[in-house]
């Protein structure tokens, strides 16, 4: 039986907990959670059929194989200083702490600690997270099993640690930007008297189809746009509005501002 501990089930931690509790075989994996408040741990324990512990000290008396760090980076010192693992070589720390490097995690543990730094996103809720990772680990078998666990709630991408900030912008924060984009579709459909269940469906199909065509086609995006636009047609008038208002530049600035804080 492999033991998983999730410290901090905020929005992201809960999304991962939801997916793992639903998809992992409980004959092979045991999930435990720890939160700042006991009432939240009890609530989520009942909701997701997992175990809970009451305080950080309890970690030191159990051999957890996979420990997810899902609390705020500002709380790292107070949390990690209280963890004294019994078996470093057979434990892997899976850190979701934003802007917190592997080298910073290592300071709190012995030299042979295994660390997997990840950046998932909220699509873990529906097993569709795009999760980046980098690592420093000696126990390769444990590392590979940890990566398999990450793939339970989405797809994984090995990147350089220096790329984490830009990955946050492109995937971690991006769902919020995409939701804002979709809001405009939904509001315009509402203004034109479409039933929501119908408009939701054709908006979804349009966005999914366009995304697949854009990313799986050898033709450049500029060429694809030209094929849709008819001179003096309705698409040209709409597309010109995006160009005149610097739509692409606004998005790039959005990514850059996100990266600066990641």
The annotated binding site for NADP(+) is made up of 7-12
Measure the CA–CA gap between 224 and 231, rounded to whole angstroms. Answer: 15
Q: H/E element holding 240?
A: helix 234-244
Question: Of how many residues is the chain composed?
Answer: 262
- Whether 17 and 48 have beta carbons less than 8 Å apart is answered as yes
Q: Please enumerate in sequence order all residues whose Cβ is within 8 A of that of 256, keeping only pairs 6 or more positions apart, or say none.
A: 169
Classify burial at 99, counting beta carbons within 10 Å of its beta carbon; exposed 0-12, middle 13-18, buried 19 or more.
Answer: exposed
Q: H/E element holding 142?
A: helix 140-150
Q: Please enumerate in sequence order all residues whose Cβ is within 8 A of that of 258, keeping only pairs 6 or more positions apart, or say none.
A: 168, 169, 173
Interior angle at CA 26, CA 21 and CA 32, nearest 5: 55
Alpha-helical segments (H) within 2-37: 11-23
Task: Provide DSSP, 197-209.
Answer: HHHHHHHHHHHHH
Q: Which residues are annotated as a binding site?
A: 7-12
């Amino acid at each position: 039986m492999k033991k998983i501990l999730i410290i901090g089930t905020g929005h992201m931690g809960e999304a991962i907990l939801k997916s793992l509790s639903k998809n992992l075989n409980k004959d092979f994996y045991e999930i435990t959670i720890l939160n700042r408040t006991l009432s939240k741990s009890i609530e989520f324990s009942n909701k997701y059929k997992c175990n809970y512990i009451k305080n950080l000290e309890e970690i030191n008396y159990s051999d957890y194989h996979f420990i997810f760090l899902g609390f705020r980076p500002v709380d790292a010192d107070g949390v990690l200083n209280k963890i004294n693992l019994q078996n470093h070589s057979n434990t892997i720390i899976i850190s979701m702490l934003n802007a917190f490097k592997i080298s910073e995690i290592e300071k709190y543990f012995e030299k042979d600690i295994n660390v997997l730094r990840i950046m998932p996103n909220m699509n873990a809720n529906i097993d569709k997270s795009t999760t980046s990772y980098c690592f420093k680990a000696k126990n390769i078998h444990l590392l590979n099993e940890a990566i398999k666990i990450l793939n339970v709630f989405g797809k994984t991408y090995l990147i350089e640690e220096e790329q984490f900030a830009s990955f946050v912008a492109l995937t971690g924060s991006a769902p919020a930007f995409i939701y804002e984009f979709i809001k405009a579709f939904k509001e315009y459909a509402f203004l034109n008297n479409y039933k929501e269940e119908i408009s939701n469906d054709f908006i979804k199909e349009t966005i999914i189809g366009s995304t697949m065509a854009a990313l799986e086609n050898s033709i450049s995006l500029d060429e694809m746009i030209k094929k849709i636009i008819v001179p003096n047609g309705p698409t040209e008038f709409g597309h010109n509005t995006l160009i005149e208002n610097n739509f692409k530049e606004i998005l790039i600035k959005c990514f850059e501002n996100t990266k600066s804080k990641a």
